[in-house]
């Protein structure tokens, strides 16, 4: 079951997409355990990216069947007019703790990005250009245009935030005919 909570489309510099939905019947422990396991591997990206906290490798969840099912159900439910198929190109796990934060950035090389929150946290995801804040809660799925800048404040309380950010590109785009 999916309950769309918020769906905004408004121009920033160009038309942007922002959809916030709640995933029902959701097993967050499955993903949290997989993140904890992946963080112990040598290829983790802890503090090496815009995420100033713990992070798995970029593709840790790309082939995860449970995540794929959630994404498929979301895309089917919103009935968005994707004339092409979306390809999940990156999906990684994050674990953010006290004094961790995410620097202001975007995913410009991707058509769309998303984040699946695995637990509740009082530190919001901030989209400064559109003046929006999203407070993480278990099962919340946020889907947005890849060029939208976003960040998080420093987690000050004794909290832990788990999430799976994702990046998507369109596949099957018409090729430019040079003739």
Residues in the chain: 179
pLDDT number for residue 80? 61
For residue 45, report the phi and psi dihedrals to the nearest 5 degrees: -115, 35
Query: Coil, strand or helix: which one is 155?
Result: coil
Per-residue pLDDT reduced to its tens digit, 68-78: 999 988 988 87
pLDDT number for residue 176? 45
pLDDT number for residue 76? 83
The list of the chain residues with pLDDT below 50 reads 175-179
pLDDT number for residue 177? 46
CATH code of the domain made up of 18-171:
2.60.120.620
pLDDT number for residue 82? 58
Does the predicted TM-score (pTM) go above 0.85? Answer: yes
Query: Comparing C-alpha atoms, which of 18, 108, 115 is closest to residue 67?
Result: 115
The residue ranges of every structural domain in the chain are: 18-171
């Amino acid at each position: 079951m999916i309950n769309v909570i918020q769906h905004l489309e408004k121009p920033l510099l160009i038309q942007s997409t922002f959809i916030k939905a709640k995933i029902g019947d959701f097993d967050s422990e499955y993903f949290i355990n997989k993140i904890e396991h992946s963080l112990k591997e040598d290829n983790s990206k802890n503090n090496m990216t815009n995420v100033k906290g713990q992070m798995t490798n970029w593709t840790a969840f790309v082939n995860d069947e449970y995540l794929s099912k959630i994404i498929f159900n979301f895309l089917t439910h919103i009935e968005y007019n994707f004339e092409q198929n979306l390809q999940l190109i990156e999906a990684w796990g994050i674990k953010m703790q006290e004094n961790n934060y995410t620097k202001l950035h975007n995913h410009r090389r991707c058509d769309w990005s998303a984040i699946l929150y695995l637990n509740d946290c009082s530190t919001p995801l901030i989209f400064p250009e559109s003046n929006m804040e999203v407070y993480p809660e278990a099962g919340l799925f946020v889907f947005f245009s890849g060029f939208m800048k976003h960040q998080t404040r420093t987690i000050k309380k004794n909290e832990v935030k788990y999430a799976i950010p994702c990046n998507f590109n369109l596949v099957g785009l018409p090729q430019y005919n040079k003739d």
